[in-house]
Amino acid sequence: MVKDDFFLNNLGEYCIDELKKIGSTSSEVIVAHSISDDMLQRNGKIEEVTRSQDISIGLTAYIGKKKSSISISNLTKNNIKQAIVRCYEMAKNTPEDKYCGLPESYNIEKDKVDLNLFDNSTISFETKKDYISECEAEALAQKKIVNSNGVSFTEAKSNFVLKNSNGFSNGQKSSIFSISCDVVAKEKESMERDYEYSSKRFFSDLMKPRLIGKIAAERAAARLSPKKIDSFNGPAVFEPRVASSFLSHLISSISGHNLARKVSFINGDIGEILFEEGVNVMDDPLIKKGLGSRNFDTEGVNCKKLELIKNGKLNEIILDTYSGKMLNRKSNGRCGGTTNCYFENGKLTKTDLIKDIKKGIYITELFGSGFNSVTGDFSKGGSGFLIENGKITYPISEITVAGNIKDMFKKIILANDLEFKSRINSPTIKIDNISIAGK
């Protein structure tokens, strides 16, 4: 089991006290313990069973406007003492930074809400083995599936305590269970792979193993014998798994750090129009069992639900204490990034998005790093299916989708099929008239 709060608190309190004794004007410490059990099966055989365990201390010492941070995992008493002194000495020799410092005390979380993030049950080895075996067997039983790239299962449990010299002390115990099934389909000379996954806070909430295997197999088989297409300009529909990448680019663009350093393709002015009216983006840290849920950020600042985009307009930017000071604003509890971020559902079904498209593409995979965060230029390789006369037809490959993401944002139309499968989620989206390069 993960270390309890008493153990973590005692270590944290010791570090804060010692840093104060040797001269730190303020300090912060995070003490964390995590255990991860992993299992991998391929073609009916368990190939790997591993357990990893990590306990660490992260120290931050301030001397006025000077700051230094270090982390250690060898937690002998002597090593902890040496690390405390080393962190303090490093701070002494660090240049001053007028923006550094702990959050103000009035902005610190006090009342912790139970977000139901920890599964206290014990999942036996046999239960995990049966789960992944059932998943893989179902996938391999499907037509055209000839091989398995593996079914992996991970159980991760952790606990941490965050303390600072302003009096903040709180922590969070959490668990995550994840399963992924990756299979290969074959038809004549064509071979394709695809996968399905499920990740939840509680084991009992995972997708049923047979369903995971069935979906992975169906996705792989559907991609067989892809065709190349001629280049054209037209509409593209992005399945949710791919559509969430646009949300990732938005998050980066409205980061306070990027806006302050002027390395974002948007201005960052509240009220700036980024999407069509009716498009909303939320970041909600208080979703029960949410994969990104938390009461407070990695500085101890209270997390509340944010409307990042409201009716197509920028409503909030992502701020921690440092970027808030750079922009003369207060932190909104996003040190460490967003929590559960998502496009709110649109009004149309996926079928409605597609039915009026005479010629377009349905994209199920994007790859490459072709995005310029400063200019917004976007160019990524992809694969998926051709859309003709309102129907998804045959698989296609070796295409490139290109445009400027600021223009693409303003053309986004959202479907109503949002599911929470990760920390960043999107329904199906449609973008009209973008460049699609083929053969």
Average confidence (pLDDT) per 10 residues, the chain, 439 residues: 93 97 97 98 96 97 97 96 97 96 72 90 96 98 96 98 94 97 96 97 98 98 96 96 96 96 94 96 98 96 96 97 95 96 97 96 92 93 96 96 95 97 98 92
Expressed as residue numbers, the domain containing 372 is 227-439
- Residues 99 and 90: their CA atoms lie apart, in Å, by 18
Predicted confidence at residue 193, as pLDDT, reads: 96
Residues 182 and 270 in one domain: no
Residues 338 and 431 in one domain: yes
Kindly tell me the sign of the dihedral angle through the C-alpha atoms of 271, 276, 278, 280. negative
Q: What count of Cα atoms within 13 Å lies in the side-chain half-sphere of residue 336? A: 17
DSSP string, 167-210: S-EEEEEEEEEEEEEEEEEEETTEEEEEEEEEEESSGGGSPPHH
Predicted confidence at residue 1, as pLDDT, reads: 87
The domain total for the chain is: 2
Q: Which residues pair with 152 in a beta bridge?
A: 40, 180
Domain boundary among 158, 193, 222: 222
Residues 302 and 429 in one domain: yes
CATH code, 196: 3.30.2290.10
- Residues 35 and 382: their CA atoms lie apart, in Å, by 36
3-class state of residue 120 by DSSP? coil
Q: Alpha carbon 89 to chain centroid distance?
A: 35
Q: Alpha carbon 296 to chain centroid distance?
A: 17
Residues 43 and 190 in one domain: yes
- Residues 72 and 91: their CA atoms lie apart, in Å, by 17
DSSP string, 31-90: EEEEEEEEEEEETTEEEEEEEEEEEEEEEEEEETTEEEEEEE----HHHHHHHHHHHHHH
Domain boundary among 196, 222, 248: 222
Residues 150 and 200 in one domain: yes
State the DSSP code for 345: P
3-class state of residue 126 by DSSP? helix
Residues 424 and 333 in one domain: yes
- Residues 197 and 207: their CA atoms lie apart, in Å, by 8
Q: What count of Cα atoms within 13 Å lies in the side-chain half-sphere of residue 97? A: 16
Residues 237 and 193 in one domain: no
State the DSSP code for 286: T
Under a CB-based contact definition with an 8 Å cutoff, are residues 29 and 57 in contact? yes
Residues 177 and 250 in one domain: no
Q: Shortest CA distance to 403 belongs to which of 371, 373, 367?
A: 371
- Residues 434 and 48: their CA atoms lie apart, in Å, by 44
Residues 218 and 255 in one domain: no
Read off the amino acid at residue 207. M
Q: What count of Cα atoms within 13 Å lies in the side-chain half-sphere of residue 43? A: 6
Predicted confidence at residue 106, as pLDDT, reads: 55
Residues 129 and 262 in one domain: no
Strand order in the sheet with 306-310: 313-314, 306-310, 281-283, 341-343, 424-425
